[in-house]
């Protein structure tokens, strides 16, 4: 559905996007990750035909993208990072959706609007003026507008910006529901914990360079150099931390109260070995569990070390 070949955008001497190659099949939720200023929005602007690439090619729906082809553009829905206030602020939420529905000639428009207002939790405020809506409500309204004409590709730029936890879950569920209907969804975000919950594949951009494009599972394996084992004991002797660090498969160890936290290599299941070790030392493990790995934890900030890992160069020496 989406493919780029050496896509590049320069502003004078500054390269915002540097020869990136992305391939997104139909029906996939693709997460586009990176810190603010990494090149995410510049990439989306080119994919939408709003700005022209300096170099490279874009293919949508299997053909080279030409922004002048209205039939192609009608198959795209967009939720921008900035919300629909501006010149629309005098409209009610329903009037705003009616206006765009008329532009796209959406069939059974009133019914479609009611459905989307229900899905986004906005039905109770449909007669409120846009200028009186909160930032979270504006974001939901933007998503409803993007889905009005039933697009084949949905672009979401920071879709949960300004939402409270209930709103975040509502939009997450809506994204997953739309994807189950066969919609291809491109999500740009710096909130890794949300991307982790919904995306099939991800691309990571940093300083305009696409460092990795992979499945979530494969990305985890590249970023996660070690894992944690949490052990609950009847009691934890004061001198045990130093003893257990002597074992070859223990990278690090710490304790608090009766809880022992061990860092071990990512590959392999060490829970049985740890259990034997503890029993041999006269300790009784009440619970042994492997801590679930979070993309947020491994990639809270994109450090130079992570850049080297993702580029296949290994960590710092």
169-215: per-residue pLDDT in tens? 888 888 898 899 899 999 987 767 777 788 888 888 888 999 878 88
The percent of residues above 70 in pLDDT, for the chain, comes to 88
| CATH assignment at residue 181 | 3.40.50.300
Does 167 reside within a domain? yes
Q: Which pair of tokens denotes residue 112?
A: 């479609």
The domain boundary residue, chosen from 201, 221, 241: 221
For 94-120, b/e burial (b = at least 16 CB within 10 A) is bebbbebbeeeebeebeebbeebbebb
Cα–Cα distance for residue pair 29/199, rounded to 1 Å: 5
Cα–Cα distance for residue pair 99/95, rounded to 1 Å: 6
Does 300 reside within a domain? no
Whether the Cβ atoms of residue 117 and residue 85 lie closer than 8 Å to each other: no
Look at residues 226, 187, 191 and name the one whose alpha carbon lies nearest to residue 203: 187
Whether the Cβ atoms of residue 106 and residue 149 lie closer than 8 Å to each other: yes
Side-chain half-sphere exposure of 266, counting CA atoms within 13 A: 12
Helix, strand, coil: what percent of the chain each, to 5?
A: 35, 30, 35
Task: Work out the pLDDT band at 267, boundaries 50, 70, 90.
Answer: confident
Cα–Cα distance for residue pair 120/171, rounded to 1 Å: 7
User: What is the arithmetic mean of pLDDT over 232-261?
Assistant: 84
Cα–Cα distance for residue pair 300/317, rounded to 1 Å: 22
User: What is the arithmetic mean of pLDDT over 48-59?
Assistant: 93
Q: Which domain holds residue 96?
A: 2-221
Q: Which pair of tokens denotes residue 8?
A: 């590049």
Tell me, yes or no, whether 128 and 263 share the same domain: no
Q: What is the pLDDT of residue 295?
A: 60
Tell me, yes or no, whether 132 and 114 share the same domain: yes
State the total domains in the chain. 2
Q: What are phi and psi of 30, to 5 degrees?
A: -110, 125
The domain boundary residue, chosen from 190, 221, 252: 221
Tell me, yes or no, whether 76 and 191 share the same domain: yes
Tell me, yes or no, whether 34 and 136 share the same domain: yes
The percent of residues above 90 in pLDDT, for the chain, comes to 36
Q: What is the pLDDT of residue 298?
A: 55
| SS3 state of residue 211 | strand
CA 28 remoteness from chain centre: 13
Q: Which residue has the tokens 């130093």?
A: 242
User: What is the arithmetic mean of pLDDT over 262-270?
Assistant: 79
Task: Work out the pLDDT band at 28, boundaries 50, 70, 90.
Answer: very high
Does 303 reside within a domain? no
Tell me, yes or no, whether 55 and 198 share the same domain: yes
Q: What is the pLDDT of residue 304?
A: 53
The domain boundary residue, chosen from 198, 221, 244: 221
Task: Work out the pLDDT band at 85, boundaries 50, 70, 90.
Answer: low
Residue 146 scores a pLDDT above 90: yes
Kindly report the pTM of this predicted structure: 0.75
Does 65 reside within a domain? yes
Tell me, yes or no, whether 160 and 13 share the same domain: yes
Residue 292 scores a pLDDT above 70: no
| Mean pLDDT score across all residues of the chain | 84
Does 298 reside within a domain? no
Tell me, yes or no, whether 86 and 114 share the same domain: yes
Tell me, yes or no, whether 88 and 132 share the same domain: yes
Residue 41 scores a pLDDT above 50: yes
Tell me, yes or no, whether 153 and 254 share the same domain: no
Q: What is the pLDDT of residue 82?
A: 73
Tell me, yes or no, whether 138 and 112 share the same domain: yes
Residue 244 scores a pLDDT above 70: yes
Q: Which residue has the tokens 């900035």?
A: 82
Tell me, yes or no, whether 174 and 267 share the same domain: no
Tell me, yes or no, whether 143 and 274 share the same domain: no
Does 308 reside within a domain? no
């Amino acid at each position: 559905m989406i493919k780029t070949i050496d896509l590049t955008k320069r502003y004078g001497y500054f390269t915002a996007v540097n020869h990136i190659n992305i391939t997104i099949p139909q029906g996939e939720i693709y997460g586009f990750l990176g810190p603010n200023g990494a090149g995410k929005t510049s990439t989306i602007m080119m994919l939408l035909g709003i700005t022209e690439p300096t170099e490279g090619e874009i293919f949508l729906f299997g053909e080279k993208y030409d922004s002048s082809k209205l039939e192609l553009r009608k198959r795209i829905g967009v939720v921008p990072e900035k919300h629909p206030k501006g010149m629309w602020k005098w409209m009610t939420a329903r009037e705003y959706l009616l206006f765009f529905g008329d532009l796209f000639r959406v069939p059974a428009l009133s019914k479609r609007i009611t459905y989307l207002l229900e899905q986004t939790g906005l039905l109770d405020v449909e007669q409120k003026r846009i200028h009186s809506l909160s930032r979270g409500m504006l974001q939901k309204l933007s998503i409803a507008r993007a889905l009005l004409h039933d697009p084949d590709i949905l672009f979401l730029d920071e879709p949960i910006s300004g939402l409270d936890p209930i709103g975040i879950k509502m939009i997450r569920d809506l994204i997953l529901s739309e994807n189950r209907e066969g919609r291809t969804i491109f999500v740009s975000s710096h909130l890794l914990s949300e991307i982790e919950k919904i995306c099939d594949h991800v691309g990571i951009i940093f300083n305009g360079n696409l460092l990795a494009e992979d499945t979530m599972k494969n990305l985890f394996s590249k970023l996660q150099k070690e894992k944690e084992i949490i052990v609950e004991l009847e009691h934890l002797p004061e001198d045990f931390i130093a003893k257990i660090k002597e074992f070859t498969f223990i990278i690090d160890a710490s304790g608090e109260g009766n809880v022992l936290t061990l860092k071990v290599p990512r590959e392999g299941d060490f829970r049985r070995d740890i259990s034997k070790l503890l029993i041999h030392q006269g300790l009784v493990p009440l619970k042994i569990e492997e801590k679930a790995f979070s993309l947020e934890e491994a990639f809270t900030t994109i450090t130079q070390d992570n850049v080297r890992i993702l580029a296949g160069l290994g960590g710092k020496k």
